[in-house]
Amino acid sequence: MASKKMALLAVAAGLLCMSALLNGAEASCGGFTASCQGPFSVTGSILSADCANDAGNFAFSSLDLNSFLSNDNGNLVEGNDYIATCTPEGFAPIGSSFFVYANCAQEDGTVVSASYDINNNVSNDNGVLSWHSC
């Protein structure tokens, strides 16, 4: 009997822990499209949206993606200053993804099309767009 109780407690603790993790992930590891609304825009490297704060009020927020993305031989990766060698080509919210597109130069000068799903990295922190690498 005692061991059954212990097992139940362990399961309950596990569930609490999991929900804390899930809430944490939601709050700080991307997913801005869930609590921000259009009109979304990416002008040059500046992402803009109307984002809800904790009180539920929407306000305009923007974030310069150029501080977080870099061009690695034609691929968008973690870093900065991608627009030095990439030309921004717009964006597309698709399902729970939010792709930004750019034409990026490879090391040999060939320009290729690159994209990055920033919804894994951009979150809405109390109405303010912010970048997190999780």
List residues binding ligand NAG (CB under 6 A): 29, 68-69, 78, 120-121, 133-134
* Closest distance to ligand NAG from the beta carbon of 5 (Å): 38
67: enclosing H helix or E strand: none
* Closest distance to ligand NAG from the beta carbon of 29 (Å): 6
Rounded CA-CA distance 30/20 in Å is 16
Coil, helix or strand at residue 96: coil
**6/134 with CB nearer ligand NAG:** 134
**57/67 with CB nearer ligand NAG:** 67
**Cα dihedral 87, 66, 112, 95 sign:** negative
| Extended beta strands in 11-121, E state | 36-43, 46-52, 58-64, 69-72, 75-78, 86-94, 97-105, 111-117
131: enclosing H helix or E strand: strand 128-131
**67/126 with CB nearer ligand NAG:** 67
Using alpha carbons, select from 113, 114, 133 the residue that is nearest to residue 122. Answer: 133
* Closest distance to ligand NAG from the beta carbon of 9 (Å): 32
* Closest distance to ligand NAG from the beta carbon of 20 (Å): 18
**48/120 with CB nearer ligand NAG:** 120
